[in-house]
A and B are shown apart, each in its own frame.
Chain A
Amino acid sequence: MQSESRVDPKIIEEILKFSKNVVEAPKLVSAPDEISLEVTKHDVVQEMDKTRLLHYKPLTDKQHKTPLLISYALINRFHILDIHPEKSWVRNLLEQGFDVYMLDWGTPTSMDKYLDFDDYVNGYLDAYVEYIKNETSTEKISLQGYCTGATIATAYATLHPESVKNYIATAPVIDGWRDTTVISNLAKHMDVDKMVEIIGNMPPEFMYYCFSVLKPFEQGIEKYVNFFKNIDNKRFVDNFIRVEKWLGDTPPIPGELFRQWIRDIYQDNLLIQNKMFIEGQHVDLKNITMPIFTQVAVADHLVSPECSMPLHYAIGSEDKTLRMYPTGHVGMIASSLSQKKVLPELGQWLAERS
């Protein structure tokens, strides 16, 4: 009887409130399938195989002369850069007067298992850069790469420096041996040849497993508890559902590209050692001599700062800037911090050079 009298009535109240929130959640929140993640208006101006080039509608009367092409990562989709009007990376850049293009890598199928680094760097990316140069009558463009998309963009900047006026590397995957994340540990022990030979493309399910071991209790339990606790907070749940939808939608990665990726970046670490080759072409980081802006998140548990920062020191550019932000991998591109600090700093740097 004594223990019964010690139970705080607030606990019962909290449990009842939480249960009520769970029951009422479907009435208050849209299902992920009902939400469109393509927020900012754009045209699909070019398509190649399964990839697309998006061109965003301008939001200012005057625009900077040099267009900006964003090479998004190969994991998940580009929507995180335009996840919500208030947290949109793309929208912010448009509001700062930049002419923004986005590369959507699409959804590879079994037929695309032989696509490799050469196809992505010298094929799709090069073709889209040429298209933009032609459309905008410019000789060079500004290029931004995010996460694994920055590895592709980095390779492009070394092989086609004549087309890149400014390069922005956001959480780039560069030095696999220095990477301290769980992802890199799994990658280092992977029999990637066997995986590609037997299953072809890297399946999304394997990616989900890799994500699930990152902060498993915070991300697997606490995050959802918070969601139901805050079910009345429209802004919070809207953002939550959008990010969850984005997290749950990752395309397969073409087998050959994945093989090169794991072997050359994580296992043999060839890129930072200037020993990487793409279809016989030497990827020499010293060839990057254009202005470069490297953005790193201190609390990044997908691409650790130790993995990204070596790019800043390995390139040949004299005009180079390294910025570190007190946030995580996604926080750097889709948060209030990115809107208040990361993007204004990037915009100022880019405007001075565009």
Chain B
Amino acid sequence: MQSESPKDITDYYKHLSLFWTDIIHLMSSKPQALTSIGPMRAFAANSKKISTELIEINEDLLEFNKHLTEYYKQLADTWTDAQKKVNLKAPEVPQDIEQIEAFKRIWIDIFDNDFTELFDSQKFGENYGKLVSKELELTKHWNNITNVILQSVNLPSKEEIDEVYKEIHSLKKRVGKLELELKKRSMKENAK
């Protein structure tokens, strides 16, 4: 194991966890069958999904943190550079109201320009896109874990609800178009 990469180590522990979850599940399935309609039975049958999701969450969390660090680094670097520009342009400490107002204007203009330049840059767009993408993957794992719990109490999963939504949408669309078509026809006929 020592010579293997972190990915191999993660895979090893993933396998180890799934192995024992499966074995324990198989070993205990007969007694559990006595309570085959209760939530614990359904939960136990799907619990290995939770183990898998938790392991994958860790992997995605590493990537998420990498992009989050880069995100804050970009903000911090831009802040430092902008502050340096402000110091160069307004080196004196403002002494009266007029000077404070002028200093504030310079500070806001420089900071807004520099941060807009950052937010408009490819490096920010790429990293932010990846950060959001990893956040979505974390959400997906969380959804999957929630589905296991929902299924344990015989409630529909997100995918099953989505199927219903899709079907309703499709039906409404068809009915709506038919209604509109009928209205248009009747208007044409009335016009005649």
Residues of A within 8 A of B (CB): 6-8, 10-11, 14, 48-49, 110-115, 118-119, 122-123, 126-127, 130, 133-134, 180-182, 185-186, 188-191, 194-195, 198-200, 213-218, 221-222
Contact = CB atoms under 8 A, between A and B. Distances in A.
B119 A182 contact: yes
B96 A10 contact: yes
Interface residues of B, number: 41
B176 A123 contact: yes
Contact of A198 (B95, B100, B143, B176): B143
Given A111-B165, A185-B119, A213-B119, A130 B176 contact: no
B140 A198 contact: yes
Given A6-B95, A111-B165, A180-B120, 5 more contacts: A182-B116, A185-B120, A185-B124, A198-B140, A222-B108
B95 A8 contact: yes
A276 B68 CA distance: 35
B169 A115 contact: yes
A123 B136 CA distance: 31
B171 to A, nearest CB: 11
Interface in B107-127: 107-108, 111-112, 115-116, 119-122, 124-126
Nearest to B111: A217
Interface of B: 95-97, 100, 104, 107-108, 111-112, 115-116, 119-122, 124-126, 128-129, 132-133, 136-137, 139-140, 143, 162, 165-166, 168-170, 172-173, 176-177, 180, 183-184, 187
Given A185-B120, A191-B136, A113 B143 contact: no
A113 B165 contact: yes
A133 B166 CA distance: 32
A27 to B, nearest CB: 26
Contacts of A110: 165
A91 to B, nearest CB: 32
- In the complex, which of the residues A7, A119, A189, A200 has the most CB atoms of chain B within 10 Å of its own CB atom? A189
